[in-house]
Amino acid sequence: MAEDLSSLQQVRGLVKWFDPTKGYGFIVAPNNGADILLHVNVLRNFGQSSIADGSEIEVVTHSTERGVQAVEIVSITPPERDDTPILSDLAEIDAAELSNSPLEPSRVKWFDKAKGFGFANVFGSDEDVFLHVEVLRQSGLSDLQSGEALAMRVIDGKRGRMAVEVLAWEAAISDQADDD
């Protein structure tokens, strides 16, 4: 049975909330329309397992009898940052220097959203890299799963190596391709 393409629409909205444990969340639709269901499988197809509340998201939607659902993600823009450093280790670091540091392929060792932190390892290294929940949020993510592949910008902080930006692996690959 062919899908009715006439009900597909591309819209931009804000993530109202997303719960990776439940496997879904909602996007506030433009023009006070009905909220749009965002299922974790659609997010995974984009290369992420979570998304921060307040992120701007552009999606292709499909209207069903049960409401409007996102079927494809076009783009995600993390919530706006203020200029206040989220961690004291970042206070003395130049933002341009951070954005020019290389993305390092990494894997999540563990992350506990309730505690607000976790650790990852850069591929080829046993050294732990600290992951803070606010760095995730400002990178457009809300949670991480053990074993998840990431790309991170890492600095040597006052207490050891720490991530200052975290990207989904697929997003980092497309960022690298754009730079080439």
The model's pLDDT over 122-169, given as tens digits with 9 standing for 90+, comes to 998 888 999 998 888 888 888 888 988 899 998 887 888 999 888 877
pTM summary value = 0.65
Backbone angles phi, psi at 129, to 5 degrees: -115, 125
Q: Where in the chain is the domain with CATH 2.40.50.140?
A: 5-77, 88-179
Yes or no: say if 28 and 35 are a contact pair by the CB < 8 Å rule: yes
Q: What is the per-residue pLDDT across 33-83, written as a single tens digit (0 to 9) for each?
A: 889 999 999 998 988 888 988 899 999 999 888 899 999 999 988 887 655
pLDDT of res. 160: 87
CATH class of the domain comprising 5-77: mainly beta
Q: Residue 42 half-sphere exposure, CB side, CA atoms within 13 Å? A: 24
At 56, phi and psi to the nearest 5?
A: -85, 135
The CATH homologous superfamily to which domain 88-179 belongs is Nucleic acid-binding proteins (2.40.50.140)
Q: Are 61 and 42 in contact (CB under 8 A)?
A: no
